[in-house]
């Protein structure tokens, strides 16, 4: 392999890893606070791409307006999913909530098929992002620079919120002990809503970037990236934000590199993520960054 193609793969890996990381953060934040895998997260991610599509094609918004609207509406959508599917089951056994999460996921997917239609739609990519940067003989699509930069910026903002603000402190407190958090005067339900809102907004950012890179929109497009990002979150140690990011980059990068170095295995691309998941669960179930803490009951 020439150095040129290697750099191209590297930039693709970084971009894909960024996307996984953005989605994985949502899984990990919700898990951290509710001990729940939000199976609808991939579908929330999907919704954001369609909001951009309709914003631009139907409501004739400029692309950047459509992006902002998509991020905000997707955040609200995530909060609604929690209100409707999870909050009523707050005191129920965890298995009920999990089933509700799977139900929510199917419901969103099927509603999306009914409302958006099953025929693929083209994500409206602004020309700006279609440019390609040339360095000598290497040509790298603009999106491959843009995606990691947006991801890292989002991550810095997120870490600031979680670690430095009062709300972030409350989020960490709630993730440890609901009751003690209530005794501090924290409105636990609000904090959970904020968590869903932030996680869904990050998924929306991921969705928009995904659309720019893979502009073919179908209602089920959230399933695979959702599963992969979930795996990334588990690899990093679910509940840990930095872990989710590391897991995302690791998974995205290795997926691209495997195809690059072993093209004959291209067909196993998706299987690879699951093999990695099984390996992690066997050898380090708490993930790379996770501590071996006993499960909260």
Interface residues toward another protein, by CB under 8 A:
166, 169-170, 172-173, 175-177, 179-187
Q: State the minimum distance, in angstroms, from the CB of residue 170 to another protein.
A: 7
Q: Which long-range contacts (CB under 8 A, 24 or more apart) does 162-169 make?
A: 162/241, 167/191, 167/194
Identity of the residue, 186 or 273, whose beta carbon is nearer to another protein in the bound complex: 186
Q: State the minimum distance, in angstroms, from the CB of residue 166 to another protein.
A: 7
Identity of the residue, 185 or 263, whose beta carbon is nearer to another protein in the bound complex: 185
Identity of the residue, 5 or 187, whose beta carbon is nearer to another protein in the bound complex: 187
Identity of the residue, 131 or 190, whose beta carbon is nearer to another protein in the bound complex: 190
- Quick one: which of 194, 66, 205, 39 has its CA closest to 124? 66
Q: State the minimum distance, in angstroms, from the CB of residue 240 to another protein.
A: 11
CB-facing half-sphere around the CA of 190: CA atoms within 13 A: 8
Q: State the minimum distance, in angstroms, from the CB of residue 25 to another protein.
A: 18
Tell me the C-alpha distance between 215 and 209, whole Å.
9
Q: State the minimum distance, in angstroms, from the CB of residue 297 to another protein.
A: 15
- Quick one: which of 116, 123, 135 has its CA closest to 213? 123
Identity of the residue, 121 or 182, whose beta carbon is nearer to another protein in the bound complex: 182
Sign of the alpha-carbon torsion through 50, 55, 56, 62:
negative
Q: State the minimum distance, in angstroms, from the CB of residue 276 to another protein.
A: 28
Inter-residue contact 112 to 219 (CB < 8 Å): yes
Inter-residue contact 198 to 161 (CB < 8 Å): yes
Inter-residue contact 96 to 36 (CB < 8 Å): no
Identity of the residue, 96 or 187, whose beta carbon is nearer to another protein in the bound complex: 187
């Amino acid at each position: 392999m020439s150095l040129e193609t290697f750099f191209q793969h590297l930039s693709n890996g970084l971009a894909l890893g960024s996307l996984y990381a953005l989605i994985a953060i949502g899984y990990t934040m919700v898990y951290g606070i509710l001990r729940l895998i939000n199976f609808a997260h991939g579908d929330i991610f999907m919704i954001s791409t369609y909001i951009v599509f309709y914003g631009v094609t139907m409501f004739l918004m400029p692309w950047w307006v459509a992006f902002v609207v998509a991020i905000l509406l997707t955040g609200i959508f995530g909060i609604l999913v929690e209100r409707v599917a999870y909050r009523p089951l707050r005191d129920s056994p965890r298995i009920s909530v999990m089933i509700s999460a799977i139900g929510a996921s199917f419901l969103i997917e099927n509603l999306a098929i009914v409302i958006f239609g099953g025929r693929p739609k083209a994500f409206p990519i602004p020309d700006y992002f279609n440019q390609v940067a040339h360095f000598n003989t290497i040509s790298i699509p603009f999106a491959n620079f843009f995606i990691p930069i947006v991801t890292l910026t989002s991550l810095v903002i997120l870490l600031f919120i979680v670690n430095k603000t009062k709300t972030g402190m409350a989020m960490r407190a709630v993730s440890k002990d609901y009751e003690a958090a209530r005794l501090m005067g924290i409105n636990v339900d609000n904090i959970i809503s904020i968590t869903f809102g932030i996680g869904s907004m990050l998924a929306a950012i991921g969705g928009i970037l995904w659309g720019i890179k893979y502009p073919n929109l179908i209602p089920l497009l959230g399933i695979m990236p959702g599963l992969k990002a979930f795996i990334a979150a588990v690899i990093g140690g679910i509940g840990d934000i930095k872990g989710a990011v590391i897991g995302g980059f690791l998974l995205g990068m290795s997926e691209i590199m495997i195809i690059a170095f072993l093209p004959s295995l291209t067909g196993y691309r998706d299987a690879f993520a699951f093999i990695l998941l099984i390996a992690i669960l066997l050898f380090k179930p708490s993930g790379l960054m996770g501590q071996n803490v006993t499960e909260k009951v």
